[in-house]
């Protein structure tokens, strides 16, 4: 069963996907569905023993190219739609044990170019309005499979977090005639206080109003509505910067930092060229080596985040740990 | 960058991205080689989980 149910109060779609209850939970390496095929003849999602970066359809998709009919009928107040879309898994490496921050910079550069291809490819589909590239990393984030991987959801609508950003950026563009994100990143780079790392094309900063202690956003320095607008060289620069950031994250507390990584960029419904601006956002749940940040009453019930860390202090701690160069 | 579209044992779309040593610089991308129409067959999806 899967369908989209409209919440007329929150003004957002909720995906009901009951078949996902049955998915594989933390299998040992011998049963990893993303590892190359094994001798036991049990098929995995991949067919080759070694690969650079591979993308496979999600076997338990929340959104489907050919979705089933909804389980319930909607009405005018509460519309229901089929959960049409695409869910893919991006395998960063064929090595199950790989630690992402130890992968070569070239792997990150390849990954960014794969993201760009998936954005183009999935975004060109009529039914897809938004291509969301993301990663849930670490058991703390509910990850059930250790094999280094990220995900792609191609939604038939623009999801609310992205829509809210675009509404702000559109209004700002109407008033000021410039892109909100371009102005933000330029001022962060000029001030420097919250900059974690940068190169010619991208800057990683702890946002002024960070919601998580070590939240980092990575922005294109020039106006790039989406990855589709980034050159191969810019993709490489982004890859190198991501590797540097991950090295810093993993050295902060001496363990592999869990996080949710989200990419925000131009919807693929044709809107937003002037005011959408490609960036990534990282939300690590740890506020100290031992303490996790839980979303609770104020965050979940009221939508107001409480951050126990000064963003400027978090930025300088992370900046200290960012290597100048990576191979 | 080259793209190779195949189908896995579960009948799901599987894409390998391959990178030869390339000189720096921009190139036209997104054009795939060896593309096979059967890749979009979406039957029997109970393989990979996330
Ligand atoms: Zn594996
Ligand atoms: Zn911009
Ligand atoms: Zn954003």
| pLDDT computed for residue A28 by the predictor | 63
DSSP letters for A248-265: HHHHHSSSPPPEEEEEE-
End-to-end CA distance of chain B: 26
Identify residues whose C-beta is under 5 A from ligand 1, the ion. Answer: A 32, 34-35, 96, 147
Q: What is the whole-number distance in angstroms between the Cα of residue A279 and the centre of ligand 3?
A: 6
Q: Where are the beta strands (DSSP E) in chain A?
A: 2-7, 12-17, 53-57, 80-82, 86-91, 130-137, 149-155, 195-198, 202-205, 216-220, 259-264, 279-283
3-state secondary structure of A147: coil
The domain ranges of chain B are: 1-36
Cβ distance of B12 and A59 shorter than 8 Å: yes
Q: What is the whole-number distance in angstroms between the Cα of residue B23 and the centre of ligand 1?
A: 31
What percent of chain A is modeled with pLDDT above 90? 87
E strand or H helix at A175: helix A160-176
Segment A247-279, tens digit of pLDDT:
999 999 999 999 999 999 999 999 999 999 999
Cβ distance of B15 and A55 shorter than 8 Å: yes
Burial class (CB within 10 angstroms; exposed 0-12, middle 13-18, buried 19+) of A300:
exposed
| pLDDT computed for residue A269 by the predictor | 96
| pLDDT computed for residue A26 by the predictor | 61
Q: In this structure, what are the phi and psi dihedrals at residue A245, rounded to the nearest 5 degrees?
A: -65, -45
Chain B hits for A34, CB-CB cut-off 8 Å, are: 48
The active-site residue, picked from A147, A149, A229, A279, is A149
> Quick one: average pLDDT of A47-63?
93
Q: A206 and A214 in contact (C-beta within 8 Å)?
A: yes
Q: Which pTM was predicted?
A: 0.91
Domain architecture of chain A: domains with CATH:
24-58+85-321 (3.30.428.10)
Annotation marks residue A149 as catalytic: yes
- Sheet with A202-205, edge to edge strand ranges: A195-198, A202-205, A216-220, A279-283, A259-264, A130-137, A149-155, A86-91, A53-57, B13-18, B2-7
Q: A133 and A149 in contact (C-beta within 8 Å)?
A: no
DSSP letters for A128-145: -SEEEEEEEESGGGT---
> Quick one: average pLDDT of B10-38?
61
| pLDDT computed for residue A96 by the predictor | 93
Distance, in Å, from the CA atom of A89 to the CA atom of A32, rounded to the nearest integer, reads: 14
Confidence of residue B36 (pLDDT cuts 50, 70, 90): very low
Q: Locate A46 and state its tokens.
A: 């991949």
A211 alpha carbon, distance to own chain's centre: 16
Confidence of residue A195 (pLDDT cuts 50, 70, 90): very high
Confidence of residue A18 (pLDDT cuts 50, 70, 90): confident
Q: Give A228→chain B minimum CA distance, Å.
A: 10
Q: Is the ipTM of this complex over 0.90?
A: yes
Q: Please say if the pLDDT value at position B34 is more than 50.
A: no
């Amino acid at each position: 069963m899967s369908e989209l149910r409209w919440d007329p109060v929150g003004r957002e779609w909720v995906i009901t996907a009951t078949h996902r209850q049955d998915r594989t939970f933390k299998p040992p390496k011998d049963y990893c569905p993303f590892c190359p095929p094994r001798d036991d003849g049990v098929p995995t999602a991949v067919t080759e023993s070694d690969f650079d970066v591979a993308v496979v359809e999600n076997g338990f998709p929340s959104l489907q190219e050919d979705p089933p009919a909804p389980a319930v009928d909607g009405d005018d107040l509460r519309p229901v739609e089929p959960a049409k879309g695409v869910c893919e898994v991006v395998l960063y490496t064929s090595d199950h044990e790989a630690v992402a921050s130890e992968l070569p910079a070239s792997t990150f550069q390849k990954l960014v170019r794969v993201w760009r291809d998936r954005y183009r490819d999935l975004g060109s589909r009529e039914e897809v309005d938004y291509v969301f590239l993301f990663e849930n990393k670490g058991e703390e984030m509910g990850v059930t499979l250790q094999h280094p991987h990220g995900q792609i959801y191609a939604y038939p609508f623009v999801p609310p977090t992205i829509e809210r950003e675009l509404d702000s950026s559109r209004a700002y563009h109407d008033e000021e005639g410039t892109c909100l994100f371009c102005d933000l990143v330029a001022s962060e780079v000029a001030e420097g206080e919250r900059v974690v790392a940068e190169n010619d094309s991208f800057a990683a900063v702890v946002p002024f109003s960070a919601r998580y202690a070590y939240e980092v956003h990575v922005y294109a320095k020039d106006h790039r509505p989406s990855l589709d607008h980034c050159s191969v060289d810019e993709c490489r620069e982004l890859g190198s910067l991501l590797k540097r950031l991950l090295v810093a994250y993993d050295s902060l507390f001496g363990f592999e930092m869990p996080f949710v990584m989200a990419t925000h960029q131009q919807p693929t419904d044709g809107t937003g060229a002037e005011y959408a601006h490609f960036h990534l956002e990282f939300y690590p749940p740890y506020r100290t080596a031992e303490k996790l940040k839980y979303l609770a009453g104020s965050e979940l019930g009221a939508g107001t985040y409480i951050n126990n860390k000064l963003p400027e202090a978090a930025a300088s701690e992370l900046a200290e740990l960012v290597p100048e160069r990576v191979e | 960058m080259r793209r190779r579209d195949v189908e896995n044992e579960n009948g799901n779309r599987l894409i390998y991205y391959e990178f030869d040593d390339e000189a720096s610089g921009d190139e036209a991308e997104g054009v795939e080689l060896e593309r096979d129409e059967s890749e979009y067959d979406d039957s029997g999806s109970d393989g990979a989980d996330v």
